[in-house]
Amino acid sequence: MKILMLTTVYPRPDSPKNTSATRVIQHFTESWQQMGHEVVVIHTVNKLFPLIYFLPESVKRLIKSRTTYEVSDYSIVCEKAYKINGIPVFRKPLFKWIPRGLTSARTIRRCARSIADDLQKIGFVPDVILGHWASPSAQLLSELKSYFPAPNALVFHSIHYARMYPQVLKACIRRIDRIGCRSEALARAVKERLELAEMPFVCYSGIPDAAAAQEFTRCFDGCVSRFLYVGELIVRKNADTILEALSRFMDRAWTLDIVGSGNERDALEEKAAALGIAGRVRFHGRIPREDVFHLMHEADVFTMVSRDEAFGLVYLEAMIEGCITVGSVREGIDGIIHHGQNGFLCAAGNPDELAQIYRSIFDMTKDERAAMSRLAYQTARELSNSAVAGQYLRDVLGDAAV
């Protein structure tokens, strides 16, 4: 099968900027390639007014911290063709007047024509076209229907464009066969906002097949003492909530490892000092993935109570290591974690509720912790890269998926 993937996020080997952007799309495309499918990627990048790219890095970090929008490196805002692990990638810059706005219809038409020309040159006629992130993928999927009658699907990663531009998206969706979302909570929100006849399918992330195949080795012989957070240090991740909640258990012998970088690090360090827990909190910055997994293996509890979280692959990574995992209710992981069974769910950014959850964890018997840990492991094990990639195609194509 020939699969065409449209995405705004994909590795950028020619960029000097070290980005923390998700690699979920690359995991899908490479899993399909390993299954024997032929895959081509169209990587669309925003092209803004040049002045924006030359803002000081501190200002760019602040923009991302406050709005989640990452200003890309100016050097990649150009048309380019290359391969990553054998998969052809065509980069297409698309001008936008404002970040997180819509691309003009004229620009979309030109881009669709350019995509069709590029695919003709390599003799690639897609059997299915998939798009991630509503803008510009919704507009491109609709326009590409004029060139390729293949089944297509759009996967939402947030509610933003459905909330801001519902009429434009409704018009595009008339030419899109299937709608997906990255979580159950988002699927419900998109269905309601766009008045869809059917509930969107859920497009989950996966963990590496090798990780899913590892044996369960976790045991909880001693008391709970090691807590862990892994993620960007930006406002919406609510890492400060973990500090506030843990500071209420000064009579317990706990430590907290915080892994990641971001504009909020200084504020978090100041908060830890103000709460009198600086000696218990270790800030690691960005570290290699193998070191992250080592910390997960050693940790008892993993927590990320962020808001506006499309999914959060890091939850699965913690669960496969047997961590007791705390995520956010009504966010991306809700539906994977079932409260009180294979983990806990907390209102995003609520230190009182999180402290109650921590008290419950402290009070659990070792057998109760071990049972929850095993259920978390079993949940994550079912969501391997190959499993979710295969399910994705079945959700889009039904019986035609092979």
- What average pLDDT does this structure show over 383-399? 95
Would you state the pLDDT for residue 254? Answer: 97
d(C-alpha 195, C-alpha 230), whole Å: 36
- The DSSP bridge partners found for residue 227 are 256, 301
Q: Is the pLDDT assigned to residue 196 strictly greater than 60?
A: yes
18 pLDDT more than 60: no
Confidence at 38, pLDDT banded by 50, 70, 90:
very high
Q: Which of 7-16, 31-40, 202-211, 311-320 has the lowest mean pLDDT?
A: 7-16
Give the Cα separation of 238 and 309 in Å (integer): 11
Mean pLDDT for the stretch of residues 70-99: 86
CA atoms within 13 A on the CB side of 49: 6
Q: Give the count of beta carbons closer than 10 Å to the beta carbon of residue 153.
A: 24
Q: How confident is the model at residue 332 (pLDDT cuts 50, 70, 90)?
A: confident
Q: How far are the Cα atoms of 3, 17, 61, 103 from residue 20, in angstroms, in the given order?
A: 26, 10, 12, 24
Does the pLDDT of residue 60 top 70, yes or no?
Answer: no
Q: How far apart are CA 164 and CA 182, in angstroms?
A: 19
Averaged over 329-354, what is the pLDDT? 95
CA 72-73-79 angle, to 5 degrees, is 90
- pLDDT for residue 206 is more than 70: yes
Angle value at C-alpha 243, between 239 and 246, nearest 5 degrees: 130
Q: Which of 255, 199, 248, 205 is nearest to 225 (CA)?
A: 255
State the Cα–Cα distance between residues 170 and 176, nearest whole angstrom.
Answer: 10
**Angle value at C-alpha 96, between 124 and 48, nearest 5 degrees:** 105
Which of 48-52, 111-115, 213-217 is most confident?
111-115
Q: CB burial class (10 A; 0-12, 13-18, 19+) of residue 227?
A: buried
**80-84 and 87-95 as β-strands: parallel, antiparallel, unpaired?**
antiparallel
- State which amino acid sits at residue 389: A
**pLDDT value, residue 98:** 81
Q: In what order do the strands lie in the sheet with 255-259?
A: 281-285, 255-259, 226-230, 301-303, 324-328, 344-346
CA distance 166 to 202: 20
Return the percentage of the chain with pLDDT > 90, whole number: 80
| Rounded Cα distance, 332 and 310, in Å | 5
pLDDT at 17 over 60: no
Q: How far apart are CA 196 and CA 199, in angstroms?
A: 7
SS3 content of the chain, % helix, strand, coil (to 5): 45, 20, 40
Residues 353-358 have a mean pLDDT of: 98
On the question of pLDDT at 50 being above 80, the answer is no
Question: Which segment of 79-88, 213-222, 283-292, 375-384 scores lowest on mean pLDDT?
Answer: 213-222
pTM, two decimal places? 0.87
* pLDDT at residue 371, as a whole number: 95
Range with the poorest average pLDDT among 44-58, 207-221, 280-294: 44-58
CA distances from 328 to 43, 60, 125, 266 (A): 30, 27, 41, 24
Mean pLDDT computed over 226-233: 96
Kindly indicate the confidence band of residue 69, based on its pLDDT and cuts at 50, 70 and 90.
Answer: low
DSSP single-letter state for residue 83: E
Structure confidence at residue 217 as a pLDDT band (50, 70, 90): confident
pLDDT band with cut points at 50, 70 and 90 for residue 362? very high
pLDDT of residue 310: 82
Q: Is the pLDDT of residue 89 over 60?
A: yes
Q: Is the pLDDT higher at 220 or at 273? A: 273
Q: Residue 402: pLDDT above 70?
A: no
pLDDT band at 364 (very low <50, low <70, confident <90, very high): very high
Determine the average pLDDT of the residues in 105-120: 97
The residue-averaged pLDDT of 339-367 equals 97
pLDDT at site 47: 78
- The stretch 211-218 carries a mean pLDDT of 89
- Residue 161, pLDDT above cutoff 90: yes
Alpha-carbon distance of 135 to 100, in angstroms, equals 8
Whether 139 and 102 have beta carbons less than 8 Å apart is answered as yes
